Amino acid sequence: MTRPANASTQTRRLLARFADQPQAWQYGYELSKLTGLGSGTLYPTLARLAEQGLLESDWRPSPQPGRPPRHAYRLTNAGIEFARAQSVKPVRASRSRSREAMA
């Protein structure tokens, strides 16, 4: 059973990153660095968004010979619409970043 799309802060941060270049393939490690999301949050969110039909996922060949393929993601048309709808809601900084700012 597919869970309904949610609008958590982490999901909105990830969708905002995808919305910058909605048709571009993006990789998990790159997304983690750009969003500040850890792998324990990022990859389940990517899987859930793909399951909901908001992301397309594909194994892409590595540009470096001898390296394994990489899992890449991009927004579907439904994902682009959902990301646009979520973009009107403010995205707060993560708790860990907020704590660092207070230090």
- Which residue type does 15 have? L
Q: Would you place residue 101 in the very low, low, confident or very high pLDDT band (cuts 50, 70, 90)?
A: very low
Domain count, the chain: 1
102 within some domain: no
2 within some domain: no
Structural domain of 45: 9-97
This prediction's pTM: 0.76
3 within some domain: no
Q: What average pLDDT does this structure show over 69-98?
A: 77
Query: Is residue 92 pLDDT above 60, yes or no?
Result: no
* Residue pLDDT, tens place only, 8-62: 889 999 999 999 999 999 999 999 999 999 999 999 999 999 999 999 999 999 8
22 within some domain: yes
103 within some domain: no
pLDDT at residue 94 in the model = 47
User: How far apart are alpha carbons 43 and 38 in whole angstroms?
Assistant: 8
